[in-house]
Structure 1
Amino acid sequence: MDDFIDRYGAERVWAATVASLAAIVVLVAVLFPQRVYVEFIWQYFWGPVVADAHSWSCVAWAGGEQVQCSPTTTGPTAEPGYTFVSYAGYIPTLVLLLIGVIFILRRLEIERFRAGFFALFPFMLFGGALRVVEDANAASFAYNGEMAIQLPWSGFIISPLIYFTVFFIALAALVSSIWLDRNDYVSRYEYPLAGIGTALLTVSIAYLGYTAATEPYSEFYPLIPLVTLVGATLATAITWFAIERFAPELNRGTRYMGLVVIWAHAVDGVANVVGLDWATTLGLPANLVPKHPINAAIDSTTADVLPASVVSATGSAWPFLLVKLAAAVFVIWIFDETVFEDNPRYAILLMITVVAVGLGPGTRDMLRATFGV
């Protein structure tokens, strides 16, 4: 196998593998449309996106039509969210994508990796904000039966496809910024890269603000971002102080990137606690509902284990914040100095992925509650 890769090149082998897998999927879907496309691809991958886009709890495949489920529904159905089958498809796809990114980074010959990490930070916030744009789109459909962004285009800003959308946007921004740097239009590629991400984030939030100001299905709740961001910052400060005081060796590899990792996952944790347990206290008409199985499992387990009197006072989502902080600390412990010395491209790529996994959903949950969609 190593001789084969050495002969044809790792990049060509990767490209041929991706192209072959895509061709096989398309071919079997064409040859067996009912069994492969409808009962597998649609039911586990595209159907959940359609249901999410309409804010339906269930969507049915009715002879080629995608309709909301009813008591008389027959045929395959799909619900919003993830399943073990969809995870089994998305995880290998993500691994293939990450391998491709490593090849791209080699081609680009980037030297200032840590600076690039911080420059990409606005894109991680942008991903969450862009997802809330689709939440507003779904709220519009629920209110008046119309979407500002129609399917299939809105599907590309729904999880998990939005991760690929934001990735390709960030990649285009990165390549453009490096081109500007190497042609002496800018002094460092990080500046235009961060600027592009900030501009995209600003446009997304401005759109949500405009929607809240002009549409009846959206409203602005300023206490939500205030409590979430202050709470996440305090949780990060306490965690960082504890690390510096009792185990300073943990962040010698990540350094201040570790601070970003902790804050990203603290935002996700606090946003869940606020949205699931305290949204009504902060002005929303109803608390949010967990959309990921881990959040839902922790929430329900806490409610079952603790006495009702305790849950009524503390809520049931707070353990999720502790889990997120513990996971963030574990990550920065794993990424020690040797990891960055041996393969800095790979290390930074994984760090970006870790931050995006926390900050994307956290930003989405915070902004979804902030604009009431």
Structure 2
Amino acid sequence: MSTVNERVETVLPDTGTREWWALYLLAPVVLVGLGILAFPTLVYDRFIWQYLWGPVVADAASQPVTHEGIRAVSGYNAVNTVTYLAAVGYSLPGLRAYLDQLDVTFDARLAYGFAPIIVAGGAMRALEDIGILGDYAVLFITPSIYLVVTAVTVLALGVGARARDRGLVSIPQVVGAVGTVWAIGAVGWAFLYGATSPAPLRLWVPVATTGIALGVTGLYYWGAGVIDVASLRHPLFLLAVFGQTWDGAQNLIGVTFLGYSPKLVVTQFVYRATGFSGSTFVLKLLVTGGIVWYLADAKPEMNRTWWWLMTFFIGAIGLPMGVRGSLRMMLGV
């Protein structure tokens, strides 16, 4: 073995370790950085700015923006869509392997530990809607916000794993603590802004949306007991029902009482087709109920990790939307 090979092997960790998977995930970032240094005009100006970063900046500015004579407009395009899909496809094996190396236990405690981070993400998106994040707004616009939330979550998992290995605290406790501090700060900032703003503060909105979500989740829990299907009372199902109902509740309140309209293509279509202000709420109840019933029935046959991810995902896509909508309407945005 040559001297060069020996030096390389002493520097790089063995494949399969946490460090190796961290390198796997960071490799594209390093390559892009080297490309920017070597070919700044081609890599940054003509690719990253024009198709990736420029549209995000344009979204934050609510108008087209120009850099080095290159114009960028907000919204998705063919290049950034393909790039985002490729990035997700590349990262998923690395993330799952990284979590396996951390020896993460996918259970209800971890799901509820993740919940505050998701709430914080929704609150930060609302703060961006309000327009009080200044130059940092670009970090909390789609798709940037997904990268920020994922990065915080991965770092919290890594710190939690080290703390667990040293016998200090568990991974869910660390993740939950990070998310709770972030969520309290973000939601508190929104309330502080509302308290000092001349616009009326609709405190009844988050009370109503949260109350409806809690009420429906309670009825769901009671109904699962009545039909005597214990598996439907799994904590992840409760989180999924609460998250989706919260999103449905903020749509219901906004459309019925405050003159808002559904944003998603599917919910817009249903609302226009029915003319019923509660169409999104009813749709979410029916779809969520069907998915939960299917996942409860399929749980014994499915891979444990994928079942956990699918079930958690149902609640995770509802929670931030419920938070964002409730805060926006509370502040009159």
Residue 201 (1) aligns with residue 183 (2): yes
Question: CA offset at residue 224 of structure 1?
Answer: 0.7
Name the counterpart of 1:358: 318
Question: CA offset at residue 20 of structure 1?
Answer: 5.9
1:234 counterpart (204, 215, 240): 215
CA distance in structure 2 between the aligned counterparts of 1:365 and 1:232, rounded to whole angstroms:
13
Name the counterpart of 1:149: 134
Question: CA offset at residue 167 of structure 1?
Answer: 1.7
CA distance in structure 1 between the aligned counterparts of 2:81 and 2:227, rounded to whole angstroms:
37
Summarize the Cα distance change of 1:247–1:46 in structure 2 as closer, same or farther, 3 Å threshold: farther
Name the counterpart of 2:328: 368
Q: Taking structure 1 as the reference length, what is the TM-score of the superposition? A: 0.70
Q: How do 1:321-336 residues align onto structure 2 when only pairs under 5 Å count?
A: 321-336=281-296
Q: Does the CA-based 8 Å contact 2:240-2:316 persist in structure 1?
A: no
CA distance in structure 2 between the aligned counterparts of 1:25 and 1:210, rounded to whole angstroms:
39
Structure 1 segments unaligned to the other structure (5+ residues): 1-7, 66-74, 141-147, 280-286
Residue 297 (1) aligns with residue 269 (2): yes
Q: Does the CA-based 8 Å contact 2:106-2:308 persist in structure 1?
A: no
Summarize the Cα distance change of 1:278–1:360 in structure 2 as closer, same or farther, 3 Å threshold: same
Query: Identity rate of aligned residues, in percent?
Result: 22
Question: CA offset at residue 265 of structure 1?
Answer: 0.6
Residue 277 (1) aligns with residue 256 (2): yes
Residue 113 (1) aligns with residue 104 (2): no
CA distance in structure 2 between the aligned counterparts of 1:362 and 1:79, rounded to whole angstroms:
24
CA distance in structure 2 between the aligned counterparts of 1:18 and 1:175, rounded to whole angstroms:
15
2:57 counterpart (50, 69, 73): 50
CA distance in structure 2 between the aligned counterparts of 1:181 and 1:16, rounded to whole angstroms:
24
Q: Does the CA-based 8 Å contact 1:102-1:345 persist in structure 2?
A: no
Name the counterpart of 2:160: 177
Question: CA offset at residue 117 of structure 1?
Answer: 1.3
Number of paired residues? Answer: 319
Summarize the Cα distance change of 1:181–1:10 in structure 2 as closer, same or farther, 3 Å threshold: closer
Name the counterpart of 1:145: none
Amino acid at match of 1:78: V
Question: CA offset at residue 17 of structure 1?
Answer: 9.0
Q: How do 1:17-166 residues align onto structure 2 when only pairs under 5 Å count?
A: 19=27, 23=31, 45-54=52-61, 56=62, 59-62=63-66, 64=68, 78-80=73-75, 87-111=81-105, 113-136=107-130, 138=131, 140=132, 148-150=133-135, 153-166=136-149
Q: Taking structure 2 as the reference length, what is the TM-score of the superposition? A: 0.77
1:343 counterpart (303, 326, 329): 303
Structure 2 segments unaligned to the other structure (5+ residues): 1-14
SS in structure 2 of the partner of residue 335 of structure 1: helix
CA distance in structure 2 between the aligned counterparts of 1:240 and 1:49, rounded to whole angstroms:
41
SS in structure 1 of the partner of residue 194 of structure 2: helix
Residue 248 (1) aligns with residue 229 (2): yes
Amino acid at match of 1:236: T
Amino acid at match of 1:149: G
Q: Does the CA-based 8 Å contact 1:265-1:324 persist in structure 2?
A: yes
CA distance in structure 1 between the aligned counterparts of 2:171 and 2:183, rounded to whole angstroms:
19
Q: Does the CA-based 8 Å contact 1:340-1:347 persist in structure 2?
A: no
Summarize the Cα distance change of 1:46–1:18 in structure 2 as closer, same or farther, 3 Å threshold: same
Structure 1, residues 236-279: CA drift from partner, whole Å, max 9, x if none? 34444455545837x45x71210110110111111122223322
